[in-house]
Chains A and B, each alone.
Chain A
Amino acid sequence: MLKLENIGHFYGNRQVLKNINLEVARGELFGLIGPTGAGKTTLLRIIDLLETPASGVMYFDGAKVAATGRGRLDIRRRMAFVLQKPVVFNASVYDNIAVGLRWRRQSRSRISQTVEPLLEVTGLKALKDKNARTLSGGEAQRVAIARAVAVSPELLLLDEPTANLDPVSTLRIEEMIADIYRRYRTTIIMTTHDLAQGRRLAGRIGVLVNGEMVQAGKAEAVFSMPHNRQVAEFVGTENIVPGVVASREGELAVVDLGGTLIEAVSDYGVGGEVYALIRPEEVMLAKQRGTSSARNWLVGVITGVDMAAMPARVNVDCGFPLVALVTRASLEEMGLKPGQPVYAGFKATGVHIIERPG
Chain B
Amino acid sequence: MDELWRGFTQGIGLLVSLDPEVMEVAGRSLLISLSATIIASLVAVPLAAVIHLNSFPGKRAIITVTQALFSVPTVVVGLFVFVLFSSAGPLGGLNLIFTPTLMVIGQALLIAPLILGLAISALSGVDRAYVDTARSLGAGGLQVAGVILREARFAVVAAVIMGFGRAVSEVGLAIMIGGNIKGFTRVITTAISLETSKGELELAIALGIILLIIALVINIGLSRVQQRA
Q: Is the A/B pair a real complex?
A: yes
Residue ranges of A at the interface with B (Cβ–Cβ < 8 Å): 45, 48, 50, 73, 76-77, 79-83, 85-87, 89-90, 99-100, 103-104, 144, 147-148, 151, 157
Decide yes or no whether B195 CB sits under 8 A from chain A: no
Bound together, the chains give a CA A80 to CA B139 distance in angstroms of 11
Known contacts A89-B147, A90-B151; is-contact A103 B138 (Cβ 8 Å): yes
Decide yes or no whether B136 CB sits under 8 A from chain A: yes
Evaluate contact between B129 and A148: CB separation under 8 angstroms. no
Residues of B within 8 A of A104 (CB): 138
Evaluate contact between A50 and B136: CB separation under 8 angstroms. yes
User: Which one, A73, A82, A87, A90, contacts B138 given CB within 8 A?
Assistant: A73
Bound together, the chains give a CA A89 to CA B150 distance in angstroms of 9
Evaluate contact between A148 and B151: CB separation under 8 angstroms. no
Write 22 A-B pairs (CB below 8 A) sorted by A numbering.
A45-B132, A48-B136, A50-B136, A73-B138, A80-B136, A80-B137, A81-B136, A83-B132, A83-B133, A86-B133, A87-B133, A89-B130, A90-B151, A100-B137, A100-B138, A144-B133, A147-B137, A148-B136, A148-B137, A151-B137, A151-B138, A157-B136
Evaluate contact between B138 and A83: CB separation under 8 angstroms. no
Bound together, the chains give a CA A5 to CA B1 distance in angstroms of 85
Question: Contact flags (1/0) for B147-162 with A, using CB distance below 8 Å?
Answer: 1001100000000000
Interface residues on B, range: 10 to 19
Evaluate contact between B147 and A76: CB separation under 8 angstroms. no
Residues of A within 8 A of B139 (CB): 100, 103
Known contacts A73-B138, A148-B137, A151-B137; is-contact A85 B129 (Cβ 8 Å): yes
Q: Quick one: closest B residue to A73, CB to CB?
A: B140
Task: Say how far B102's CB is from chain A's closest CB, in angstroms.
Answer: 40
Residues of A within 8 A of B151 (CB): 89-90
Residues of B within 8 A of A50 (CB): 132, 135-136
Residue ranges of B at the interface with A (Cβ–Cβ < 8 Å): 127, 129-130, 132-133, 135-140, 143, 147, 150-151
Residues of B within 8 A of A157 (CB): 136
Residues of B within 8 A of A144 (CB): 133
Known contacts A89-B147, A90-B151; is-contact A83 B137 (Cβ 8 Å): no
Per CB-CB distance, the 4 closest pairs between chain A and chain B, nearest first, are A81-B136, A100-B137, A77-B138, A87-B129
Bound together, the chains give a CA A87 to CA B140 distance in angstroms of 18
Residues of A within 8 A of B137 (CB): 80, 99-100, 103, 147-148, 151
Most buried by A among B135, B136, B151: B136
Bound together, the chains give a CA A103 to CA B147 distance in angstroms of 11
Residues of B within 8 A of A148 (CB): 136-137
User: Which one, B129, B135, B143, contacts A76 given CB within 8 A?
Assistant: B135
Residues of B within 8 A of A83 (CB): 129, 132-133, 136
Residues of B within 8 A of A85 (CB): 129
Task: Say how far B3's CB is from chain A's closest CB, in angstroms.
Answer: 55
Bound together, the chains give a CA A226 to CA B188 distance in angstroms of 80
Most buried by A among B130, B132, B135, B138: B138
Residues of A within 8 A of B132 (CB): 45, 50, 81, 83
Residues of B within 8 A of A76 (CB): 135-136, 138
Bound together, the chains give a CA A99 to CA B137 distance in angstroms of 8
Residues of B within 8 A of A48 (CB): 136
Task: Say how far B182's CB is from chain A's closest CB, in angstroms.
Answer: 49
Bound together, the chains give a CA A77 to CA B137 distance in angstroms of 7
Residues of B within 8 A of A79 (CB): 136
